[in-house]
Structure 1
Amino acid sequence: MIRTVTQTGSTNADLAARLSGGEYLPEGEWLVADRQTAGKGRLGRAWNDGLGNFMGSTVVRLGQGDPPFASLALLAGLSVHEAIASLLPDPSPLWLKWPNDLLLAGSKVAGILLEMIAGTIIVGIGVNLRVAPHVEGRAVAALCDHGVDVSRDDFANVLARAFALELERWRSAGLAPMLRRWQSAAHPKGTRLTVLPPGEEAIEGGFAGLTQEGNLLLSLDDGSVRTIHAGDVLLSATSH
């Protein structure tokens, strides 16, 4: 079920408040806003407004036997990739960047934020359908600039189906097939990346795939390979 509101601060915050208040939210229910005034992305970046864009959140209720919940960040990105790719005249310039940014011809078209509240994962997703909001230090684009003419409500239905399908696959087939599909949707191996790990200086290297747990592998210039568990990841200037 997809519920819509005309305006809210943040769909993630709305669902978090309901969960914190003891309300049961079933999987498959989405809250979608026409406008957000206090939306946020990873690392606290603002991600607001954009009338005509998709701004919505859903929940995943973790169960016994589910793969590690951290892999939901990759699953969410793959779901958005599948939804957008199905609408593009040519999906080849659409890449996933670890863990779940969507880049189209090198510019960000979607972002995802996961939060855990009361043992339930809230998945917040923003997709630039009509407007590319300004994000400091980032190249940002909208799907309408690339030949995609889709309404917010139609996209919401496409995304909800894609997310439900990926969730079912994640639970039934396990993590490994999802990670293989994620890597096939990502930028090519060897793509130069700059990583800003928490509390460390930036490091640069080539994309070397994912670990079995879904962490990023970065091939450094000295020949070593570093596992990245967290951090901001950017395409290096030489990759554009």
Structure 2
Amino acid sequence: MSRIRFVERTGSTNSDLLAASELPEGEWLVAERQDQGRGRQNRCWESPTGNFHGSTLVRLQPSDPPAGSLALCAGLALIRAVEAAAPATGLMLKWPNDLLLGRAKLAGILLERQEDRVVAGFGVNLAQAPTIEGRETAALSSVALVSPKSFAPLLAAAFARELGRWRDDRQALTALWLESAHPVGTPLSVHVMADEKLEGTFAGLAEDGALRLALPHGEERRIHAADVMLGND
């Protein structure tokens, strides 16, 4: 059973949930504003009023799939919630943690783990599209007006549903994720580290949720963490 708490302002909803070790699975914290919002690799995530900034808690069980594959669960829940909230077309998941509207970033996900607890944080541009250097961004307000308070229960319900699928039928979850993502064969630029850039095509997902990148000379590389751009940017 999900419980959603709304606060006017905090530093980071992810940090708040990680700091509260007694909280049960299914707890949600949604903030109108974050002062220390962050994305992957500790990048700053702008958190203007009207956008969605929220996190939820998962308690890992011994029988659970690899924790890294929770990114697929979170991504699928996110796109389903946006589809339920607005008649947006052109939505697409991009590995590992982005939701695109066309080719522009609409939302991002940050997973953080502490022992048997994983916090999944979601930032969704409902009202405004913050500037990200080198990236095109979009807001859902271009197609529909959706408030954080109306979006939160949609995302909580979708996440609970996909979390159950992740535990009970991960193959089905992976197949559904692939249906909503960039197709197999899509050209990708993968920045594994600051000084390592790979170019290849999307070859699907490994069992643990890693990206399978087909390289030009026939080799395949599995990517567990990287910045991924569509095309050869």
Cα pair 1:194 1:233 within 8 Å, conserved: yes
Q: How many Å separate the matches in 1 of 2:149 and 2:220?
A: 43
Q: Cα RMSD over matched residues? A: 1.5
- After the TM superposition, which parts of structure 1 deviate over 3 Å for at least 4 consecutive aligned residues? none
Q: How many Å separate the matches in 2 of 1:25 and 1:9?
A: 18
More displaced stretch, 226-235 vs 156-165: 226-235
**Paired residue type of 1:25:** L
Q: How many Å separate the matches in 2 of 1:38 and 1:213?
A: 30
Could you say what secondary structure the match of 1:194 adopts? strand
Q: How many Å separate the matches in 2 of 1:211 and 1:117?
A: 24
Q: How many Å separate the matches in 1 of 2:56 and 2:187?
A: 33
Q: How many Å separate the matches in 2 of 1:116 and 1:49?
A: 22
1:195 to partner: Cα distance: 0.3
Q: How many Å separate the matches in 1 of 2:232 and 2:198?
A: 13
**1:210 maps to 2:212:** no
**1:117 maps to 2:119:** no
Aligned match of 1:167 = 163
1:225 to partner: Cα distance: 2.2
Residue 134 of structure 2, aligned match among 125, 133, 137: 137
Cα pair 2:111 2:121 within 8 Å, conserved: yes
**Paired residue type of 1:167:** L
1:215 to partner: Cα distance: 1.1
- Structure 1: where are the runs of 5+ without partners? none
Q: How many Å separate the matches in 2 of 1:195 and 1:183?
A: 18
**Paired residue type of 1:130:** A
Aligned match of 1:58 = 56
Query: 1:60-209 to 2 correspondence within 5 Å?
Result: 60-91=58-89, 93-145=90-142, 147-173=143-169, 175-198=170-193, 200-209=195-204
Cα-to-partner distance string for 1:132-169 (whole Å, 9 max, x where unaligned): 11112211110111x12211111001000000000111
1:199 to partner: Cα distance: 5.8
Cα pair 1:78 1:100 within 8 Å, conserved: no
Matched-pair identity in %: 52
1:223 to partner: Cα distance: 2.7
Aligned match of 2:5 = 3
Aligned match of 1:231 = 226
Q: How many Å separate the matches in 2 of 1:179 and 1:26?
A: 26
Cα pair 1:94 1:102 within 8 Å, conserved: yes
Q: How many Å separate the matches in 1 of 2:36 and 2:197?
A: 29
Cα pair 2:14 2:120 within 8 Å, conserved: yes
Aligned match of 1:49 = 47
Decide whether aligned partners of structure 1 residues 90 and 199 sit closer, same or farther in structure 2, where only a CA change above 3 A counts.
closer
Cα-to-partner distance string for 1:23-77 (whole Å, 9 max, x where unaligned): x111221100000111000011111321111101110001121111111111111
